[in-house]
């Protein structure tokens, strides 16, 4: 506009009036160059060489005019006539040198303070020119030459625009900030420019019209400025006080959060982008065993040893993709113990989206993982036990028939010697097979159980001599028995079987001799211990442990030792049912068994059984009564035809009258016709259509006079019946069956 005013000889376009200082041609050109450089710098798509070139051109133009003024060489100055119209004044030259420098320095990464100082210097010169016009040229009288009004206004706007180029530092950043500080800057910025200009104008014109003299004028001016400054100080301090109060509340809240974080049971760790530890709470100290002072500054994956299959690179890849990673990690504590943690990691980003760190929260799940493993192992053994129990049931039916007929053959006087020996071998093999079936039943916890109150140490002492014969002379057996006679409720024969199996297992682990230690004691299971051992309820327990100095076991072997038929022995040297039998008996009696072993360092089996109070059963067996011939009528209910025929022949050969039923329904129909003559119901427990337990319930209601004897290869429900229930375990011999029937019939 100023250039157009010069070409058209129009003072309003050149300087807003006839008596107003005009904008020089060279000043207008410099303003155009600076404005173009400012626009190009604001455009991010333009290369920085273009605005820098314009800034340098501005500096050169201003320097030429500055040299011309200082050297009084008019040939270097741009003029439109001989009078020098349109010549750039000294102050304008200084102004544009500063603006050009500011636009150039703007590209320095760490020169923002210098940039701000240069711009403020240029802004001072621009405001000086405007105030010179405002106050009637008073300041202009003291200068070599003065700035035009157009130039001063344009220069003020230009320098404000240059200040806004730096959006992160200085005045522009202060005005742009959100919150209280930005609001205060926006409030004070116009006041800082307008208030002094207005006060100066009022003071000067009041003096000119004669309201007061220069001395009072100065007093009014300084007092007004002081009051305005005090007013803005009050506004600022009030705002800062509110900010401090908010900051204090925020710090209190942060302190509360920090206290909660520090007292959290979880390990809460913050790291920078390189996974260097920046905070380490008390939960992390307790979990890993390292103090915060030791962990700070460490790279976490170098500081904490891990055996997890997941790598830091895998986690970081997921974090960059999703911002979060969840999973399980295995760490090694400071004391060498391995722990499993449930880890949650969150990526932290800055205002511009750059990665600034990682927040990691770890919870110890070692105990729950162990419980999960115990539960999985128990479920696996339970499923195998169900299969073993079913096999044992059918196996015992077959053994009863085979062994029974072989025993009957042995009583025949007309047998040849070879036939007699063959029958005896059949009986011996049947006994061995029956022992294996009993072990299967013990593992499956379907073995008939006749619990008694017995002292643990008495059982150990009673079989000590037999144990010494089992282990041989190369192994030393040591007993360390607690003087307090702890009482447990268990079938004594089952407990003896447990001890013998453990001792035999220890003996086989020491082929070159060694030592076996049997210990008894007491142990109190509290709520914390019970929470990590699924089978145990809180209370007092008796402790039985068997320790050997043998070859020990690997972790893989320990994981399978209670499985049936699993053995590390050579073929033909064991069935692999010894420890599975032990496991089944202990589980059946609501106890627990744990094993501690290391290769080359021996093995310890530790058994816990619930301690009880009450009268103790005296150990020892009653003599078997002599079998007599019977005359009573017996109703036999058995679904297996070979076994049914065998039992019928045994009973009939001993004088009993036998009514035969292939199932529960048929037995009820027979009883409806002959119940007055029937003295005893002999029934299998497991039968299709109607089981022996349901059949016995019907007989107890309909025919309470009839006695009942159960027989089975296994039975779940028999464990929960009262001790008066009559039961005989398959396989049985003819003599044991007849003896049992005789004792039942004679007891009423």
pLDDT in tens, 550-604: 988 888 777 777 776 565 555 444 444 567 778 878 887 888 888 898 888 899 9
Which token pair is 451?
């619990």
- Among residues 600, 662, 612, the alpha carbon closest in space to that of 637 is found at 662
Is 680 a residue whose pLDDT tops 60?
yes
pLDDT for the residue 83 = 45
Helix (H, G, I), strand (E, B) or coil at 172: helix
Average of per-residue pLDDT across 339-359: 87
| pLDDT higher than threshold 90 for residue 657 | yes
Strand duo 707-712 + 678-684: pairing: parallel
Residue count of the chain: 748
Provide the pLDDT for residue 659: 94
- pLDDT recorded at residue 622: 45
- pLDDT attached to residue 529: 79
Phi, psi of 343 (to 5 degrees): -105, 135
Say if CB 156 and CB 126 are below 8 A apart. yes
Which one has a higher pLDDT value, 581 or 426?
426
User: Does the pLDDT value for residue 717 go beyond 60?
Assistant: no
What value does the mean pLDDT of the chain take? 77
State the average pLDDT over residues 666-694: 89
Tell me which residue of 593, 588, 585, 564 sits closest to 716, measured CA to CA. Answer: 588
Cα dist. 37→25, 56, 88, 116, 152 in Å?
A: 19, 10, 20, 17, 18
CA dihedral 698, 699, 702, 703 (to 10 degrees): 180
For position 399, what pLDDT does the model report? 79
Mean pLDDT of 273-283: 88
pLDDT digits (tens, 9 = 90+) for 90-108: 777 787 888 878 777 776 6
Secondary element (H or E) of residue 456: helix 456-462
Question: Do 687 and 663 touch, CB atoms closer than 8 A?
Answer: yes
Burial string for 350-369 (b: 16+ CB within 10 Å, else e) reads eeeeeeebbebbbbbbbeeb
- How sure is the predictor about 682, in pLDDT bands with cuts at 50, 70 and 90? very high
Residues 290-318: tens digit of each pLDDT:
898 898 989 988 888 888 888 888 898 99
- Using a 10 angstrom Cβ sphere, with 0-12 exposed, 13-18 middle and 19 or more buried, the burial of residue 666 is middle
Q: Check: CB of residue 506 under 8 Å from CB of residue 470.
A: no
Of 704 and 527, which is predicted with more confidence?
Answer: 704
Peptide bond into 731 cis (omega under 30): yes
Give the pLDDT of residue 605. Answer: 92
Whole-angstrom CA distances from 280 to 261, 270, 345 are 10, 7, 14
Question: Is residue 678's pLDDT more than 90?
Answer: yes
- Please, which pLDDT band fits residue 729 given cuts at 50, 70 and 90? confident
The confidence band for 145, taking pLDDT boundaries of 50, 70 and 90, is low
Give the separation between CA 89 and CA 12, rounded to whole angstroms.
20
**Residue with the two structure tokens 């109607």:** 690
Summarize the confidence of residues 353-373 as an average pLDDT.
84
Q: Where are the alpha helices (DSSP H) in 509-662?
A: 527-531, 555-558, 578-588, 641-653
SS3 79: coil
Sheet of 707-712: strands edge to edge?
Answer: 657-661, 633-637, 678-684, 707-712, 727-729
Q: What is the DSSP letter of 87?
A: P
d(CA 438, CA 435): 5
Between these two residues, 744 and 434, which has the higher pLDDT value? 744
Residue 637 has pLDDT above 90, yes or no: yes
User: What is the 8-class DSSP label of residue 626?
Assistant: P
Is residue 489 over pLDDT 50? yes
With a pLDDT cut of 90, the percent of the chain lying above it is 12
User: Using CA atoms, how far apart are residues 447 and 243, in angstroms rounded to an integer?
Assistant: 79
Sorting pLDDT into bands at 50, 70 and 90, what band is 407? confident
- The CA-CA-CA angle for residues 64, 69, 74, to 5°, reads 80
Checking if the pLDDT of 641 tops 70, the result is yes
487-490 and 452-455 strand pairing: antiparallel
The confidence score (pLDDT) of residue 626 equals 59
* 429: Cβ contacts below 8 Å, ≥ 6 apart: none
Read off the tokens for 548. Answer: 């050997």
Position with higher pLDDT, 114 vs 299: 299
3-state secondary structure of 474: coil
Q: Which band of pLDDT confidence, cut at 50, 70 and 90, is reported for residue 389? A: low
pLDDT of 608 > 60? The answer is: yes
Q: Tell whether the torsion through CA atoms of 355, 356, 361 and 366 is positive or negative.
A: positive
Which letter does DSSP use for residue 605 in this model? E
Evaluate if residue 1 carries a pLDDT over 60. no
| Cα 736 → chain centroid | 59
Phi, psi at 314, each rounded to 5°: -65, -45
| Residues sharing a CB contact under 8 Å with residue 607, sequence separation 6 or more, in sequence order | 498, 543, 544, 545, 586, 591, 592, 593
Model confidence at 218: pLDDT above 80: no
| pTM of structure | 0.40
Residue with tokens 């593992």: 443
| Confidence (pLDDT) at 547 | 93
Tell me the torsion sign for CA atoms 521, 525, 528, 534. Answer: positive
d(CA 644, CA 642): 5
Helix (H, G, I), strand (E, B) or coil at 77: coil
Residues sharing a CB contact under 8 Å with residue 737, sequence separation 6 or more, in sequence order: 647, 650, 728
What is the C-alpha separation between 567 and 579, in angstroms, rounded? 9
Question: Residue 674: pLDDT above 70?
Answer: yes
pLDDT of residue 180: 63
Per-residue pLDDT, averaged over 440-465, amounts to: 72
Give the range with max mean pLDDT: 15-29, 302-316, 317-331: 317-331
Residue 204: CB atoms within 10 Å: 15
What's the longest Cα–Cα distance across the chain?
Answer: 163
Average pLDDT estimate for 198-224: 71
Indicate whether 719 pLDDT > 60.
Answer: no
Name the nearest CA neighbour of 171 among 243, 95, 117.
117
Enter the tokens of residue 256: 């509360």
Place of tokens 């800082």: 192
DSSP β-bridge partners for residue 327? 343
Angle at which helices 578-588 and 417-444 cross, to 10° = 50
Phi, psi of 73 (to 5 degrees): -105, 100
Q: How far apart are the first and last CA of the chain?
A: 134
User: Cα–Cα distance between 92 and 21 in angstroms, integer?
Assistant: 12
- What pLDDT does 419 receive? 81
- Tell how far CA 406 is from the center of its chain: 63
Characterize the bridge pairing of strands 603-610 and 592-597. antiparallel
Long-range CB pairs of 225-232 (<8 Å, 24+ gap) are 225/195, 225/196, 225/199, 228/191, 228/195, 228/199, 232/188, 232/191
What pLDDT, on the 0 to 100 scale, is given for residue 504?
A: 84
| Residue 380 in this model has a pLDDT that exceeds 70 | no
């Amino acid at each position: 506009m100023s250039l157009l005013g010069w070409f058209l000889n129009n003072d309003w376009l050149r300087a807003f009036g006839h008596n107003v200082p005009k904008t020089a041609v060279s000043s207008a050109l410099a303003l155009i160059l600076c404005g173009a450089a400012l626009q190009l710098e604001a455009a991010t798509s333009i290369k920085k060489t273009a605005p820098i070139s314009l800034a340098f051109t501005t500096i050169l133009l201003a320097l030429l005019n500055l040299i011309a003024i200082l050297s009084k060489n008019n040939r270097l100055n741009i003029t439109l006539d001989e009078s020098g119209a349109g010549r750039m004044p000294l102050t304008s030259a200084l102004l544009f040198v500063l603006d050009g420098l500011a636009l150039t320095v703007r590209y320095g990464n760490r020169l923002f303070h210098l940039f701000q100082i240069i711009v403020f210097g240029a802004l001072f010169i621009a405001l000086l020119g405007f105030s010179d016009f405002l106050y009637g040229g008073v300041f202009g009288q003291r200068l070599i030459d003065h700035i035009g009004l157009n130039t001063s206004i344009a220069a003020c706007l230009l320098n404000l625009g240059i200040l806004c180029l730096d959006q992160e530092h200085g005045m522009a950043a202060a005005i742009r900030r959100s919150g209280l500080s930005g609001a205060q800057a926006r409030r004070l910025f116009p006041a800082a420019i307008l208030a002094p200009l207005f006060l100066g104008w009022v003071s000067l014109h009041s003096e000119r019209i004669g309201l007061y003299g220069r001395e009072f004028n100065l007093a009014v001016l300084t007092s007004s400025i002081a009051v305005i400054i005090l007013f803005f100080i009050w506004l600022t301090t009030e705002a800062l006080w509110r900010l401090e109060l908010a900051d204090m509340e925020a710090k209190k809240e942060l302190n509360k959060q920090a206290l909660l974080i520090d007292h959290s049971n979880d390990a809460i760790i913050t790291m920078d982008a390189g996974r260097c530890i920046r905070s380490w709470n008390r939960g992390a100290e307790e979990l890993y065993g390292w103090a915060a002072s030791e962990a700070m500054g460490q790279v976490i994956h170098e500081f904490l040893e891990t055996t997890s299959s997941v790598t830091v690179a895998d986690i970081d890849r997921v974090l960059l993709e999703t911002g979060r990673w969840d999973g399980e990690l295995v760490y090694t504590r400071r004391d060498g113990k391995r722990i499993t943690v449930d880890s949650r990691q969150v990526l932290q980003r800055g205002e511009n989206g750059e990665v600034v760190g990682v927040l990691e929260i770890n919870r110890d799940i070692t105990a729950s993982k162990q419980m999960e493993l115990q539960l999985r192992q128990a479920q696996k053994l339970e499923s195998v036990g169900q299969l073993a129990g079913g096999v044992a049931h059918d196996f015992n039916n077959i053994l009863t028939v085979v062994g029974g007929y072989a025993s009957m053959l042995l009583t025949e006087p007309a047998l040849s010697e070879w036939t007699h020996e063959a029958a005896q071998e059949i009986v011996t093999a049947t006994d061995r097979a029956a022992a294996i079936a009993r072990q299967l039943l013990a593992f499956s916890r379907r073995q008939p159980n006749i619990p008694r109150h017995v002292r643990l140490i008495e059982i150990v002492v009673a079989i000590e001599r037999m144990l010494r014969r089992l282990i041989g002379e190369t192994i030393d057996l040591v007993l360390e028995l607690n003087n307090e006679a702890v009482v447990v409720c268990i079938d004594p024969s089952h407990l003896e079987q447990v001890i013998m199996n453990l001792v035999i297992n220890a003996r086989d682990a020491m082929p070159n001799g060694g030592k076996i230690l049997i210990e008894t004691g007491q142990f109190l299971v509290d709520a914390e211990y019970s929470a990590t051992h699924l089978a145990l309820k809180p209370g007092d327990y008796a402790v039985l442990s068997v320790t050997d100095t043998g070859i020990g076991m690997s972790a893989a072997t320990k994981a399978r030792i209670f499985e049936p038929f699993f053995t590390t022995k050579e073929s033909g040297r064991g069935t692999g049912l010894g420890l599975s039998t032990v496991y089944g008996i202990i589980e059946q009696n609501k106890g627990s068994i744990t094993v501690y072993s290391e290769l080359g360092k021996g093995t310890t089996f530790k058994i816990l059984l619930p301690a009880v109070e009450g009268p103790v059963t005296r150990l020892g067996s009653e003599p078997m009564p002599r079998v007599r011939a019977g005359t009573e009528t017996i109703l036999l209910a058995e679904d297996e035809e070979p076994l049914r025929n065998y039992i019928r022949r045994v009973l009939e050969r001993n004088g009993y009258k036998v009514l035969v039923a292939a199932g529960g329904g048929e037995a009820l129909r027979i009883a409806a016709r002959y119940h007055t003559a029937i003295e005893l119901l002999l029934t299998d427990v497991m039968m299709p259509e109607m089981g022996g337990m349901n059949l016995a319930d019907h007989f107890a209601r309909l025919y309470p006079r009839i006695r009942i004897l159960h027989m089975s290869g296994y039975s779940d429900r028999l464990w929960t019946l009262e001790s008066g229930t009559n039961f005989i375990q398959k396989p049985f011999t003819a003599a044991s069956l007849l003896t049992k029937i005789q004792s039942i019939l004679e007891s009423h």
